[in-house]
Amino acid sequence: MVKPPLRTKTIGTKVSEEEYLQLERAAQATKKTLSEWCRDVMLARANGQAPRNTQPNDAGTSRALMAELVALRTILLNVLYKQANGKSLTEEEMRQLIKRADADKLKKAVERLKQAEGSLLPEVQR
């Protein structure tokens, strides 16, 4: 097992009592010490990334919401397209459409979230 590099530098800042409590709660929510949590957040920001595990389930929640939006969009566009061409959907066609939209919604959601993260990085890091 490779040892991580020795950390010898210190960064300090002053915060109010209320700010300290906010930071402490955020760290506790991720089951990290305040020091570990602050380090992770600062390094992620320095690298142009969203901090990982700064709030529990943020990534999972984003993926789930995006997956549902992607599925809803797929269904809506297909229904509207069919209606615009003067056709209607049977109950079976609608079931199949929902089944198809649900089948790949998570994959598409992850792709869209990655695209969005890439577009949020500072210009110098692209």
| Region 41-53 average pLDDT | 78
Q: What is the mean pLDDT of the chain?
A: 84
Are residues 70 and 113 in contact, defined by beta-carbon separation less than 8 angstroms? no
Looking at the domain assignment, is residue 11 inside a domain? no
Quote the tokens at residue 4: 């991580």
Q: Which domain holds residue 92?
A: 58-125
Are residues 70 and 112 in contact, defined by beta-carbon separation less than 8 angstroms? yes
Looking at the domain assignment, is residue 99 inside a domain? yes
CB atoms within 10 A of CB 83: 11
Verify that 30 and 89 share a domain, yes or no: no
Verify that 62 and 121 share a domain, yes or no: yes
Looking at the domain assignment, is residue 4 inside a domain? no
Examine the pLDDT at 52 and tell me if it is beyond 70.
no
Looking at the domain assignment, is residue 6 inside a domain? no
DSSP designation for 44: H
Q: What is the pLDDT of residues 84-100, one digit of tens each?
A: 999 999 999 999 999 99
What's the full length of the chain, in residues? 126
Phi-psi label, residue 45: left if phi above 0, alpha if psi -120 to 50, beta otherwise: alpha
Examine the pLDDT at 57 and tell me if it is beyond 80.
no
> What is the Cα 116 distance to its own chain's centre?
9
pLDDT of residue 59: 67
Verify that 62 and 120 share a domain, yes or no: yes
pLDDT band at 11 (very low <50, low <70, confident <90, very high): very high
Percent of the chain surpassing pLDDT 70: 86
Verify that 73 and 110 share a domain, yes or no: yes
Verify that 36 and 87 share a domain, yes or no: no
pLDDT band at 124 (very low <50, low <70, confident <90, very high): very low
